Each structure stands twice: as C-alpha cells, then as structure tokens.
Amino acid sequence: MIHILPVDIQRLIAAGEVITRPLDVVRELIDNALDAQATRIDIELAGGGLTSISVRDNGVGISAEDLAKAPLRHATSKIQDMQDVHAIKTLGFRGEALWSIAYAGYLQITTRPQQQLGGMELFAFQDRIRVSATACPAGTKVTVMKLFEDLPARLRIQLQPSSEYRDIIMLVGRYILHHPQVGFKLTLDGELKFQHVSSDLIHAVGTVFGPLSANRMMNVQTPMVQGVISRPELTRPRRDRMHLAVNGRPIQASNELENAIISGYGEFLPAGQAPTCILNLNLPPETLDVNIHPTKTQVAFQNLSEVLETLKAVVKASLLQHPLAQAAPQPRVVTEPIQDTNALPDFRMIGVYRELYFLAESEGDLWVIDAHAAFERIWYEKLQAAFRQAEPLELTSPEMVQLGSEALGILLERAPVLVRWGFLLEPFGANLVRVRSIPQALSKLPIQNAVQLVIDSAVSGSDPERDVLARLACLPALKAGQIRMDHGQDLMNGLKNCQNPWVCPHGRPTTLRLSERDIAHAFGRRGVRDLARGRDLKEAEGRKQKVEGE
C-alpha cells in the first residue's frame, strides 16, 4: 500500500532532484519494475529519451486506490517506519522518482494488478494529476514524454542521442548481468538493441559481451558471493567489465573492491590487466547504507575489511578449482577445463627444445613446459612457505636505513603486515628506521636491498608479498641456455607438488597442451588418429554428462 512518509523519515532519506537526464528515468523505472517482481521488462526510447521513454513490466501492478498517490513526493510502499530505513531490501525506497519525473516531463502510468478486473490510467504533470479507468494487461507501463520541455536550461545541457543511447545500453546491460532471470528487451528509435530471455548468468554474459567472453567464464557460488569470473586468458587493460552488485543492486565498485578481486587472481593476472567479472554480494541489509548517493549506485559497508578479505579469498579459491593450463596456440585453442582438481598429470619426458622448453607426453597429448616459468613457480611457493612459517632472523646488531619521507610513510602504514612477514622496523627520526629483524627468505640480501625491495613492491602494487617473492623466485630459476634433459624429472616432480602449477608468479603460463587429435587434423589424417583421446575424450564425456544431467 502506497502512503506518504512521515516528515522525520523524509528528512533522513531525501535526495532532492534525481532526474537530470533520460538515463536516470530508465534506471528508476527499471528499479521499480524489479521491485514489483517483474520477470519481463520492455524498454523503448525515442529521440534520445527526450521525446519518449516507455518501460513495460509484468509485475504486481498498482492498485486502483493507490495509483493517485504514486506521483506524490515521498509516497512509497517500500518503507513503513524508521526500522525499514536502516535495513533497506528494495532497489527503490525514497518515493521521489515518479514525483521528479512528473516535474521533468509528462508522466503516464497504465497499470493493473493480476487479481484486479479492470485497469487504471494516470496522467501527471507537475502538481496536476488525473486518474481514470482503462483496459490493459496485468502489470505496469510507464511512459514519459517531452522530457525537460518546460526546463530549457536542463534541455540545453543534454547529451547527443547517440551518447545517451550508449550509456543506456550499458545501463540495461548491467541489469541483465545482475538479474539474468528477468527477460529484457531494449528498443531505441525502433531498432532492437537487446533481446534477453530469462536464463542463467553465463547466457546473460553472452547477451551483453558476446559468446567469446561467455565461453571463458567460471561460476562462483558461496553464501556471500555469487556470479562469474573470467578465466585468466580473458583480460583487459581497463576495469570496465568488473561489475558488482550488492543484494541485487548494481553499484559503482570502489577501488578497494576492485583491488580485492584482482588480488584474488594473484599471479594468474598479468600486471596492468583486469578480469571480467559479474559478482553479487549477499549481505545483511542492516550492515549497509545505500542512501549515500542520489543515484543509489554507491554503498557504504559496515564491515568493509571483512568484505574485501572474503571477496579476495572467494576469487582465489574459485580459480584454484580449475586446471588452467593453456592449450598450444596452433592448430586449435582449447579453453574448457575438464577436471575438478588442480593437479598436473604424470609426464613422460621426450625432449628439450631450444634449451628452454621441455617436451613431454601425458594423457595422449603433447605438452610444452616453459622451464624458466616452471622453476619460478616452484621457487615462489618454497619462498612463500618459508616467508610464512620460518621464524624471522633477529639481527645481532640492528642496522640503520635512510629512507625518503614517502617511503618511510609507506613502511609505517604497512607495519602490521611487515611484522607478520618478520620485519621489525623502528622509526629513529630524521627519516631513519632501525631494522631489528628480517624474514629468513631475505637473509641473503643486504639489509638496505631487502628494505628497498619491500618499498618498491609496496609502491607498485596492492600485494607486496607476492611482488617481493616473485622477484626473488626469478633469481635462482634456470634461464634459457641452461636447460638440460636431466633437469626434466626434478622439475616435473616439483611442479606437481605446487598448489598452483599452471602459471608463474608473474602470470605467464607454465604449460601448453596440443592434443594428438589436433595434430592429426592439421596433417589431414583421419581414421584411428581421428578418435578423441586424452583430454579430448574427457571433454566429450564431460559434455555428455552435462547434457544428460539437463
């Protein structure tokens, strides 16, 4: 039931004018449709949204007795009292959207609840409201015409239709990704842009980003975090495809949230690259403040540090559930994981190529192992274990290190982390620090070099431990020209014992795979060699089981 909010609640949640462009109208009307439990939403715009905007849904509708109150300011059915304000569960809640729209343009609402025999129609412009009976299907259709016609100053600063449409396409794409169970249709000036039927998130990714991206996504399912993340080979130099929602509300992810996801990828992600991800955080509403921005696209978290740690851990755990050996680039790229474990298979060494790569056979396939990358991975995990488990080395005579003001500030800021590593640093005035202990893993480095290594890593990245260990792991690893056949078995044994054997600490792959079937096809062979073997056979069996399960 729609009612006017008490004055004290109005003051608490009021955002003022929330309609500044056609995009705002589309966002508010989609939120209302989703709050009305719609499973299908059709959106049409003309003239860049300034001529007309229409949003039709099959939701619960608005009752005849409530419709006249819908465009009044602070009229809502979503909040009853102050307790609801502190635990908001709906996308809309202020009761300002339809009021703002009616002051920015001409508002028409046609609606009928499923159980109501006849429909109702409302026309509103500013304070003038007219309601009448009409025939219409169940659900609600909201049409906005002549937007900003009576606000010439606002009209003059609107974007060109092509620019506004671009942003609206991106906005509707966000809703498709975060609500894949809802069917969406977007038509702009008579041209169909999106036609998404109710489906799962992978199919929604295909609708918005295309099948190439959809085929490279991995599911994430935990009580707090659900969604998909991209396999490491699908990266971008920008973070524009890192999308987060909180309790179904698409939000503008903060740098802290994005960095937590990237940290979860660790060495799977090359430096300067970002993944594609669509994740929804399920959190108790009382631990959130969704009323900190007029567009409701920003959320404040009561326990942000816990959210960041959980997000990072979930992404890391999801990646470790999939074997991520990349297929050889010719003649065919294999992208689908077919095992549930992260273990390397058993190899039979067959040769060395260019004194850098080992050639091996396993599961009927030819494997190429980058010896340098593999040794880096082995040394990295050894150093990581030593970093976390070994007792710090106490210096018999503490050493003094001269630092710049910025570097000293970074070290002091990260002091709790450094103590866990084994660094005990004490400010000594005049930009000096006294080093009392260092990690065992850095004991062979000069003290000044060890401290400088940590500073450089702290400045350059969000995960200084990984950066430090990755640099150290590169030093003893075998280089090109040093690889011999007798190194092969020791390397394979060490790599098999790694928690993550598929990439080196810098994000480069350690292994490539070429199936016998692909080789036979490349040579034009058919017959016995054309049969699926090794991982190709397992992939076929996995697809068969998936089809039978459906």
Q: Please write the tens of the pLDDT for every residue from 97-128.
A: 898 899 899 999 999 999 998 999 999 998 89
Angle at 132 between CA 126 and CA 136, to 5 degrees: 110
User: How many whole angstroms separate alpha carbon 321 and alpha carbon 182?
Assistant: 29
β-pairing verdict for 326-327 and 511-515: parallel
Q: What percent of the chain has pLDDT over 90?
A: 35
Cα dist from 530 to 123, 405, 523, whole Å: 69, 66, 11
Query: So what's the pLDDT on residue 125?
Result: 94
Helix (H, G, I), strand (E, B) or coil at 253: coil
Cα dist from 471 to 28, 445, 506, whole Å: 49, 12, 9
CA neighbor of 503 nearest in space, from 291, 260, 249, 323:
323
| Average pLDDT score over residue span 500-514 | 85
- The answer to whether residue 14 scores a pLDDT higher than 50 is no
**For tokens 């085929």, what's the residue?**
215
- The answer to whether residue 176 scores a pLDDT higher than 90 is yes
Least confident of 64-68, 201-205, 528-532: 528-532
CA neighbor of 360 nearest in space, from 532, 523, 492, 499:
492
* 358 C-beta neighbours (distance < 10 Å), count: 24
| Average pLDDT score over residue span 215-223 | 91
Tell me the range of 78-92, 320-334, 361-375 where mean pLDDT is highest: 361-375
CA neighbor of 325 nearest in space, from 362, 271, 354, 352:
362
**For tokens 């109710």, what's the residue?**
198
CA neighbor of 332 nearest in space, from 366, 300, 298:
366
pTM of the model: 0.69
CA neighbor of 347 nearest in space, from 337, 360, 334:
360
- Residue 192 amino acid letter: L
β-pairing verdict for 432-438 and 424-429: antiparallel
- Kindly state the helix (H) or strand (E) to which residue 134 belongs, with its residue range: strand 128-134
C-alpha dihedral sign at 466, 467, 472, 474: positive
- How sure is the predictor about 456, in pLDDT bands with cuts at 50, 70 and 90? low
Q: Average pLDDT, whole number, for the chain?
A: 81
- The answer to whether residue 383 scores a pLDDT higher than 90 is no
C-alpha dihedral, 246 to 55 to 130 to 115, nearest 10°: -80
* Interval 274-311: pLDDT, tens: 999 999 999 998 888 887 777 778 888 988 999 999 99
Query: So what's the pLDDT on residue 531?
Result: 55
User: How many whole angstroms separate alpha carbon 299 and alpha carbon 290?
Assistant: 5
Tokens of 177: 């990704």
* Interval 33-62: pLDDT, tens: 999 999 999 999 999 999 999 999 999 999
| Average pLDDT score over residue span 148-170 | 92
- How sure is the predictor about 8, in pLDDT bands with cuts at 50, 70 and 90? very low
Tell me the range of 154-158, 335-339, 394-398, 543-547 where mean pLDDT is highest: 154-158
- The answer to whether residue 479 scores a pLDDT higher than 50 is yes
CA neighbor of 148 nearest in space, from 314, 20, 315:
20
Angle at 47 between CA 185 and CA 141, to 5 degrees: 45
- Kindly state the helix (H) or strand (E) to which residue 123 belongs, with its residue range: strand 119-125
Tokens of 80: 């009853």
**For tokens 């799962």, what's the residue?**
200
Helices (H), 36-160: 64-67, 82-85, 97-104, 152-156
Higher-confidence position of 88 and 86: 88
Q: What are phi and psi of 115, to 5 degrees?
A: -85, -5
CA neighbor of 15 nearest in space, from 121, 97, 133:
97
Per-residue burial over 274-294, b if 16 or more Cβ lie within 10 Å, else e, is bbbbbbbbebeeeebebbeeb
Query: So what's the pLDDT on residue 16?
Result: 44
Tokens of 85: 């304000």
- How sure is the predictor about 226, in pLDDT bands with cuts at 50, 70 and 90? very high
- How sure is the predictor about 336, in pLDDT bands with cuts at 50, 70 and 90? very low
* Interval 259-271: pLDDT, tens: 999 999 887 887 7
CA neighbor of 462 nearest in space, from 258, 244, 268:
258
- Residue 440 amino acid letter: Q
| Average pLDDT score over residue span 326-353 | 59
